[in-house]
Structure 1
Amino acid sequence: MKANSPSVLLIYTGGTIGMIENPDTGALENFDFDHLITYVPELKRFNINFHSFQFDPPIDSSDMDPSFWVDLVKIIDRNYDNYEGFVILHGTDTMSFTASALSFMLENINKPVILTGSQLPIGKLRTDGKENLLTAIEIAAAQYPNGEPIVPEVCVFFENHLMRGNRTIKHSAENFRAFSSFNYPPLATVGIHIKYEYNLIRKVDKNKKLKAHYLYDPHVAIVTLFPGIQRDIVAPVFENEKVKAIVLRTYGSGNAPQRPWFIDLIKRATKRGVIIINITQCAAGSVEMQRYETGIHLLDSGVISGYDSTTECAVTKLMFLLGHGYDYEKVKKLMSSDLAGEISKMEDY
């Protein structure tokens, strides 16, 4: 242990970043993070104490499940007082879902929780994993002179950009810059120096303690509109008695077909107590249902604006709120509220 040095807990859930190539078979295999220094010797140069925790077995990103979000929250909660920051190594495919979920499940977080990963395994010569890992650790340990953390929130760091976790989407399966935050600027950009945008980072109430949440309800569905959408295809979702909430991915600023059968499905679902959240299919921009008649019909049918939420954020926020057993009106109210920096209303611009 380095005296008077910040401590970071590294949590490996799985994913490409933690893989090396078997020299005999050429297959990618997960490596033991207890030997992390062997693969990333640059870590020795940090004036940071760090320990690692590894999911056993590691989880492929596409197999990520809300129960694993609970596991992550438990790990962070149990170790909260022992570390200045946390780095979660995660597969890229569902990283934005996990980052969004943790932003709600770790209420009053006042330490950095940085998710990162890579497009190439850390054992590859051209890997982006080393740079992402090293910088994520440095950000997780970054403090002001008074010892307070610089970035006390859940973030994603990828390819020189630190982004608020619940604002991110994975936009590329090919490029090293795989993630973007279209509706909120980066919290930091990395070049020769790490340039923090202090005014964009969430301010914390130091008098509030971390409140870890473990409840969720996954009875949420996503319906994406497209030209030619048919009633007999989507009706089973709207009429399913087990569905408690629907994320409706609409056109443009929140527009949808005005076909009577579609509006009827929505009205009957909302009357039954199904929460329907309107978010745009566009990568950037916000829902404004009052703007066009096609959006006003949705508003009149009981649909709630998701403002500029990402799909990942809307889904995980609904799971979080439904898991707490809140009634219909409270869920509607909280979905329209900014709980963790996840939405900007038009009056915020």
Structure 2
Amino acid sequence: MKKFKKIIPLALAVTLTCASLPMIANADSSKVVTIGTNLSDDQKKSMYEYFGTSKDSVETIEVTNQDERKYMEGIASEAQIGHKTYSCSYVEPTTSGGIQVKVANLTFVTSSMIASTLTTSGVENCNVVAASPIEVSGTGALTGIMMAYETASGEKLDEGQKEAATEELVTTGELADDIGQDKATDLMNDVKENVIANDISDEDKIADTVDEKAKDLDVNLTDEQKDKIVSLMEKISQYDYDVKSLQQTLNNLEGKSEGFFTKLVNNIKGFFGGNNSNSGGIISQTKDDILGSDVVSNSTLDDIKDKVQNADTEGWWDKVVNFFKGLTGSDSDSSDSNSSDDSSSN
């Protein structure tokens, strides 16, 4: 009976807590699709189908190679830029939850790379799907995403920040070729967060931060790699960022509990409300089979789940249990359970 009594206040606490939280997806926001101009008509049609929408339902922007060159020339190689544009994106501004990204058929960049570089561009909250009907590097995808975000949100991003974001994406991708995608992303995120949170702009102090974070990750950088990172962080340090918003996205990418449990609570809200369609927004609407059985895909939402479930410090179920204990503020569970056990044994 005592166990049953404890369920009632717990359910009420969950309901009240969830009711007070904002939904991650913003139902009133615009959604914008960008289409690579060099795709065939059939390929363009398949991308709308993959995104789970239609040309009549969303605003569309065609992105050209010239659009990509505006930010990538002088940063990326000619081979990376290419002469044709195939990358597409689907962007949904949100009111909270940080930046969540899914990519498909992009071989040079990952969902985590795009999410992190979007924080550099000045974006704080949005859901993004970046994809192509054929495998491409994806270096130009960021250009289309930023164009779509500006159109969908009505917010003009700073040109300098957009250039810095593009440089960060290319630098991270090149670094990933040598040390791996995860370590490259973690290194750039750790350095960026430290530089912004501690307002570091001095070149020598940034260099010290790079050395420290590289040592923490057991990464050996060449002088050229270190100089590129330092130069990039000097540019980023010139701009004002909402530190809490940036940290939320970076925490999500690292699989830290704050980001994961925000989503857990929103899922609970969907359970009580009978509608969980807003979990992941447009990311949850994608149809992978449209791009074929061998599509290469990854998302920040999957990364969060994997990292939390594989955490060494605390089991996934323990995290869930402790989270709900925190909701009730109860420290008396053990004594209650002992008394229950005693009574049941009589």
Greater strand content: 1
- Relative contact order, CA 8 A, sep 6+: which one is greater? 2
Greater helix content: 2
**Fold match by TM threshold 0.5:** no
The higher radius of gyration belongs to 2
TM-score norm. by structure 1 comes to 0.29
